[in-house]
Structure 1
Amino acid sequence: MIAYLSLFASSFLAATILPFYSEVLLYALLQTGEPAWLLIVVASIGNTLGAVVNWYLGRYLLHFKDRRWFYFKDEQIERMQYWFQRYGIWSLLLAWMPMGGDVLTLIAGIMKVRLGIFLTLVAIGKTARYIAVLYFAQITHGWFV
């Protein structure tokens, strides 16, 4: 049970704006004999819920744009919004990417993408990434789960 909670926590944190990696733990747990499908489900749920944190942050982020401590400049926000409008909600399938994926989920919140659509697209992309980790683990070790 601790292994699954650790995987959930690391997957959750990896999807937030904090620098964290869950693939290493998933790879290690795949070698312990735990059911691969269950590990992928736990990692995918944790990672998707972590992305929801970014979505909520984005939803309410612009309320603070007039504060001195606000991180983003108006030009940066406009550029992010333009990029998201250009590529659309389908870009959320790329929310799994290590560079830019977290920002993409934050922008989706700023752009007020409906949560149901957000969850569906992000979950598909993030689950596909964990399935890819499983696939490469199988290839490198020559075992199939």
Structure 2
Amino acid sequence: MFESGYLALFLASFLAATVVPFSSEAILSGMLATGYDLYWSLALATLGNWLGGLSSYYIGWLGKTEWIEKYLRIKHEQIVKTQNRIAAKELWISFFCWLPGVGDVIAVLLGLLKVNVWNAAIGMLLGKMVRYVVWALLTLKVIDLF
């Protein structure tokens, strides 16, 4: 039977990838410390955080570049120049959506700039997965010390 702890980790990871300030790493560490399966925990934390990041991307996608021009007073030419500048780097830029504080902003901006959804999704998935794997390995090392 699937334990409710895994569902809590998935939801915490999803929320942590949105504008809701939340630490899914603390939940992951707690679960690993209490004997939850490493691979299930990593998979569900990554999946939840990735889907949360994609929801932030989608919120940006719903926005209009006219809003950037109007409210941020950035000229259309500058927006197009920025889109062209990041066009070949979408995957690597989205990789950094795991960063605390700025990752959510990166995801929303990528959506707002209408970058390729597949590149953004793959980059986000890789970044979030690497972050959780590193965090889990550090957690297990600390657990081994005690």
TM-score > 0.5 by shorter chain: yes
Deviations 1:47-85 (A, max 9, x none): 00001111111111227829xxx9x5234x968x83993
- Contact 2:65–2:112 (8 Å) recurs in 1: no
Could you say which residue in structure 2 is the equivalent of 1:45? Answer: 47
Q: TM-score normalised to the size of structure 1? A: 0.83
Q: Aligned residues, how many?
A: 138
Q: Give the superposed CA RMSD.
A: 2.7
Residue of structure 2 in register with 1:16 after alignment:
18
The alignment partner of 1:38 has SS state of helix
**TM-score, normalised by the number of residues in structure 2:** 0.82
What is the identity, as a one-letter code, of the residue corresponding to 1:7?
A: L
Check 1:84–1:92 CA distance in 2 against 1; reply closer, same or farther (3 A cut): farther
Partner of 1:136: 138
Query: Which residue in the other structure is 2:85 paired with?
Result: 85
Q: Name the aligned partner's letter for residue 36 of structure 2.
A: E
Which consecutive residues of structure 1, in runs of 5 or more, have no partner in the other structure? none
d(CA) in 2 for partners of 1:7 and 1:35? 12
String of CA shifts for 1:5-54, please: whole Å, max 9, x gaps.
10011000000122111000000000111110110000000000001111
Fraction of identical pairs, as percent: 28
- Kindly indicate which of the two structures has a greater share of residues assigned to helix: 2
Q: Distance in 2 between matches of 1:29 and 1:74?
A: 46
Q: Which moved more, 1:91-100 or 1:38-47?
A: 91-100
CA gap of 1:63–1:107, structure 2 versus 1, over 3 A, is closer
Equivalent residues of 1:84, 1:107 under 8 A apart:
no
Distance in 2 between residues matched to 1:110 and 1:9, nearest whole Å: 25
